[in-house]
Amino acid sequence: MNKCPNCLANNSFTKVQKDGSVIEICEYCNTINEVTTATKAIITPENKLKSTDPVDTVVHVVYFFFFVFIFCIIILLLDQ
Ligand SMILES: [Zn+2]
């Protein structure tokens, strides 16, 4: 089905697994034709880190206690 763009040979590509992705190599001229990239590469690490970022959680806890502290001061001032 695939025609090599370099040597124009028909069905000369052989599927090879390399670095987690499937590539096709022409058996005549060794032209590399990438077929599919593994799902590993598609998943962006940025999205994974957002939900489990420990620094972000610490910042939220610090903000929470800061607001609780301010709230307590306001309550004490109103009580006088
Ligand atoms: Zn070729």
Which run of H or of E encompasses 39?
helix 39-42
Separation of 23 CA from ligand 1 center, angstroms?
14
- Phi and psi, residue 35, nearest 5°: -100, -65
What gap in Å lies between CA 72 and CA 74, rounded to an integer?
Answer: 5
Query: Are residues 21 and 51 located together in one domain of the fold?
Result: no
Separation of 40 CA from ligand 1 center, angstroms?
29
Coil, strand, or helix at residue 27?
coil
- Model confidence pLDDT, tens digit, residues 18-58: 788 888 999 999 999 887 665 555 555 565 555 567 788 88
Separation of 15 CA from ligand 1 center, angstroms?
13
Query: Are residues 5 and 30 located together in one domain of the fold?
Result: yes
What gap in Å lies between CA 5 and CA 10, rounded to an integer?
Answer: 10
Query: Are residues 32 and 52 located together in one domain of the fold?
Result: no
> Which pLDDT band holds residue 12 (cuts at 50, 70, 90)?
very high
pTM recorded for the entire structure: 0.41
Separation of 29 CA from ligand 1 center, angstroms?
4
Query: Are residues 24 and 48 located together in one domain of the fold?
Result: no
